[in-house]
Structure 1
Amino acid sequence: MKLPQNKSVLIAISIALVITIWLLSGVFSPKEAKVGHSVSEDNIQKEVTVLVENQTAHDHADVIRLYGHTQSDREVEIKAETEGNISEVLVEKGTFVKQGDIIARINIDDRQRTLQSAQALVRQRQLEFEASRKLSQKSFRSQTKLAEAEALLNAAQAQLESARLDLEQTNIKAPFDGKLESRTVEVGDYVSKGSLIAKVVDLSPIVIQVEISENKISKIQDGQPAQALLNDGRTVHGIVRFVASTSDSSTRTYKIEIEGENPNNEISAGLTTQVRLEVGSQKAYRVSPAILTLSDEGVVGVKTVDNNNIVVFHPVNLLDDTPEGIWVSGLPDTARIILRGQEYVSAGQTVTTVTKDQLSNDQPAPAASLVQKQEN
Structure 2
Amino acid sequence: MRIVPLVTAALVAAFLFAIVIERERLFALVSDLSPREAATVEPETEPEDADAHDPDTIAEGVIRVMATRSLAQEIETQVRLRGQTQAARQVSVMSEASGKVISEPLRKGAFVDRNEVMCELDPGTSAASLAEAEARLAEATARQPEVEARIPEAQARLVEAQARLQEAEINSIAAQRLSEGGFASQIRVANTEAAMQTAQSAIQSAQAGIKAAEAGLDGLQANIESAAAAVARAETEIGKLRISAPFAGVLESDTAEIGSLLQPGALCATIIQLDPIKVVGFVPEAQVNRVRVGAPAGAMLNDGTELRGEVTFLSRAADPTTRTFRVELAVPNPDLAIRDGQTAEISIDSEGVEAHLLASSTLTLNDEGTLGVRTIDGDAQARFMPVTVLRDAPEGVYLAGLPDQVDVITVGQEFVTDGVPVAPSFQEVIQ
Interval of TM-score (by shorter of Structure 1 and Structure 2): 0.5 to 0.7
Equivalent runs, 1:105-254 vs 2, <5 Å: 105-139=120-154, 142-183=213-254, 185-233=256-304, 234-245=306-317, 247-249=318-320, 251-254=321-324
Equivalent runs, 1:95-110 vs 2, <5 Å: 95-110=110-125
Contact 1:212–1:253 (CA under 8 A) maintained in structure 2: no
The alignment of Structure 1 onto Structure 2 pairs a total of residues equal to 312
Aligned pair in 2 of structure 1 residues 352, 147: CA closer, same or farther (>3 Å)?
closer
- CA apart distance, 1:86: 0.1
Contact 1:214–1:252 (CA under 8 A) maintained in structure 2: no
- CA apart distance, 1:127: 0.4
Contact 2:71–2:405 (CA under 8 A) maintained in structure 1: yes
Aligned pair in 2 of structure 1 residues 257, 178: CA closer, same or farther (>3 Å)?
farther
> Aligned partners of 2:120, 2:97: CA distance in 1, in Å?
11
Equivalent runs, 1:313-328 vs 2, <5 Å: 319-321=390-392, 327=398
Aligned pair in 2 of structure 1 residues 205, 242: CA closer, same or farther (>3 Å)?
farther
Match of 1:29 in 2: 25
> Aligned partners of 1:210, 1:329: CA distance in 2, in Å?
24
- CA apart distance, 1:237: 2.1
Aligned pair in 2 of structure 1 residues 108, 294: CA closer, same or farther (>3 Å)?
same
Cα offsets for 1:267-287 (capped at 9, x unmatched):
222122222234433234668
Match of 2:9 in 1: none
- Residue 121 of structure 1 aligns to a residue whose secondary structure is helix
Normalized per residue, the structure richer in strand is 1
> Aligned partners of 1:29, 1:323: CA distance in 2, in Å?
49
Contact 2:356–2:400 (CA under 8 A) maintained in structure 1: yes
Match of 1:260 in 2: 330
Contact 2:102–2:258 (CA under 8 A) maintained in structure 1: yes
TM-score, normalised by the number of residues in structure 1? 0.65
C-alpha RMSD over aligned residues: 4.7
- CA apart distance, 1:354: 9.2
TM-score, normalised by the number of residues in structure 2? 0.57
> Aligned partners of 1:271, 1:93: CA distance in 2, in Å?
19
- Equivalent of residue 67 in structure 1, options 82, 92, 95: 82
- CA apart distance, 1:158: 0.9
Q: For residue 74 of structure 1, what is the amino acid of its counterpart? A: R
- CA apart distance, 1:161: 1.0
Contact 2:107–2:255 (CA under 8 A) maintained in structure 1: no
- CA apart distance, 1:324: 8.9
Contact 1:82–1:169 (CA under 8 A) maintained in structure 2: yes
- CA apart distance, 1:179: 1.7
> Aligned partners of 1:259, 1:336: CA distance in 2, in Å?
40
Q: For residue 246 of structure 2, what is the amino acid of its counterpart? A: P
> Aligned partners of 1:100, 1:292: CA distance in 2, in Å?
58
Match of 1:269 in 2: 340
> Aligned partners of 1:33, 1:148: CA distance in 2, in Å?
133
Match of 1:371 in 2: none
> Aligned partners of 1:243, 1:218: CA distance in 2, in Å?
12
- Equivalent of residue 92 in structure 2, options 77, 97, 105: 77
Aligned pair in 2 of structure 1 residues 147, 35: CA closer, same or farther (>3 Å)?
farther
Contact 1:293–1:301 (CA under 8 A) maintained in structure 2: no
> Aligned partners of 2:218, 2:24: CA distance in 1, in Å?
132
- Residue 142 of structure 2 aligns to a residue whose secondary structure is helix
Q: For residue 342 of structure 2, what is the amino acid of its counterpart? A: L
> Aligned partners of 1:70, 1:93: CA distance in 2, in Å?
20
> Aligned partners of 1:129, 1:89: CA distance in 2, in Å?
47
